[in-house]
Amino acid sequence: MVYPTPFLSNFLGACVLTAAAMIGPGQASSTPVAKPPQESAVRILLHGQYQYDNGYYEAAIALYTAAIARDPENVEAYAARAGALGNLADYPAAIADYSAAIALAPELAAAYGGRGVANYLKGDLEAAVADLWQASQLFHAQENSQAYFKTLEFLKSIAP
């Protein structure tokens, strides 16, 4: 999950891969060919996570987008794509995806934290503080002490 510092990693490079290329190329043939079964949204999400973990944020975004197309209610795909978008400094798009994740899972503290950081980096301190405070309260209610204290520490650093 994405915690209050999701955008602070180094950009390791872009790998221009499309979700279609990762899933498999189409076959151009005049004879009917049995189509392979479509990959599940979860499997595509895992491919996206691999790309993200290796710093290929654009490839990860394409895969997360494909996962969302397969399963529009996949909270993890929205939150993961938001983190990748944030790493590319596309804060408005990251905020939109975090908001979509929150709409689907209002208890997802990490999404509030990620959206708070994106709002902060976009320059909206008021929205950042509100989101980070909500994240801290959810982390506390969920007994996630480490994330709770990290979020409070970040909050204190931006709004003492």
Q: pLDDT at position 27, please?
A: 30
Enclosing domain of residue 69: 19-158
Number of domains in the chain: 1
Q: Which residues of the chain fall short of a pLDDT of 50?
A: 1-37
Q: What CATH number has the domain bearing residue 48? A: 1.25.40.10
- Could you read off the pLDDT of 21-68 as tens digits, one per residue? 222 333 333 344 443 446 799 999 999 999 999 999 999 999 999 999
Q: pLDDT at position 48, please?
A: 97
Whether 4 is in a domain gets the answer no
* 126, 89 contact by CB (below 8 A): no
Q: Whole-angstrom Cα distance, residue 98 to residue 152?
A: 19
CB atoms within 10 A of CB 36: 9
Whether 54 is in a domain gets the answer yes
pTM: 0.76
Whether 13 is in a domain gets the answer no
Residue carrying the six token digits 């929150």: 102
Q: pLDDT at position 15, please?
A: 23
